[in-house]
Amino acid sequence: MRAKVSAVDFSREAGFWSRGITWVAGVDEVGRGPLAGPVLAAAVVLPPGVALPGLDDSKRLTARARAELDRMIRAAAWGLGIGAASAGEIDRWNIHRASLEAMRRALADLPRPPGAVLVDALTIPHLPWSQEGIVHGDRLSSSIAAASVVAKVARDRLMERYATLFPGYGFERHRGYGTAAHLAALAALGPCPLHRRSFLHLG
């Protein structure tokens, strides 16, 4: 069987590097669809040309591959930031606005402001830096792909910790997504503070 060829590279970042902008942050978020837990974003600034074998959109990787890449990204990155918007904020605003706020918080969490920002699929309003939204950016830009991996691993680990605080829902398995087991637990236990009441139509 032929190995999957990834299109992830630094060609999008190179346009900024050629203009002397070295701190280019890739940004992505995870957790738009679950019934429970936060939406979480990561911002990652990689050194030009750093090798991260197997880097790809986090959704196309196994949990084991994501964990290993997360370790490599954290070791190599010039800067890394994490931001989240809670279930309550999602209910108060909406998932789109909450996702944008999580990405802003991830950028604010970087050790220094970026010179430019690459975002998966959309753009973030009112940023003070140059930015580019790239459709399928997590499959094209190394910086965005790295952010997608870091965000996914961070959110999964957070949901595993929440499973010990709110036992019985199975957060350590489904991470808040609407699986049959999760829906059965909701029917038996009712929602907990992590549940997005607007997603459950509870008001």
Q: How far apart are CA 167 and CA 183, in angstroms?
A: 14
pLDDT attached to residue 1 = 34
Please name which of 159, 120, 133, 138 lies closest in space to residue 37, comparing C-alpha atoms. Answer: 159
Q: Is residue 122 part of a domain?
A: yes
Q: How far apart are CA 130 and CA 46, in angstroms?
A: 17
Residues β-bridged to residue 120:
134
pLDDT attached to residue 202 = 63
Q: Is residue 200 part of a domain?
A: no
Q: How many domains does the chain have?
A: 1
Q: Is residue 173 part of a domain?
A: no
pLDDT attached to residue 29 = 98
Q: Is residue 129 part of a domain?
A: yes
| pLDDT band (50, 70, 90) for residue 136 | very high
Q: How far apart are CA 64 and CA 42, in angstroms?
A: 19
Q: Is residue 17 part of a domain?
A: yes
Q: Is residue 38 part of a domain?
A: yes
Q: How far apart are CA 99 and CA 183, in angstroms?
A: 24
Order of strands, sheet of 24-30, starting from the edge strand that comes earlier in the sequence: 79-85, 39-45, 24-30, 116-120, 130-134
DSSP label at residue 199: T
CB 162 within 8 A of CB 37: yes
Q: What is the mean pLDDT of the chain?
A: 95
> pLDDT digit string (tens) for 45-97?
999 989 999 999 999 999 999 999 999 999 999 999 999 999 999 999 999 99
Mean pLDDT of 28-56: 97
| pLDDT band (50, 70, 90) for residue 201 | confident
Q: Is residue 65 part of a domain?
A: yes
In this predicted structure, the answer to whether residue 145 has a pLDDT above a threshold of 80 is: yes
CB 130 within 8 A of CB 116: yes
Q: How far apart are CA 160 and CA 171, in angstroms?
A: 6
| pLDDT band (50, 70, 90) for residue 3 | very low
Q: How far apart are CA 171 and CA 194, in angstroms?
A: 10
Q: Is residue 135 part of a domain?
A: yes
Give the range of the structural domain holding residue 67, as residue numbers without chain letter. Answer: 11-161
Mean pLDDT of 2-13: 73
| pLDDT band (50, 70, 90) for residue 4 | very low
pLDDT attached to residue 6 = 54
pTM, rounded to two decimals: 0.95
Which CATH number goes with the domain that contains 77? 3.30.420.10
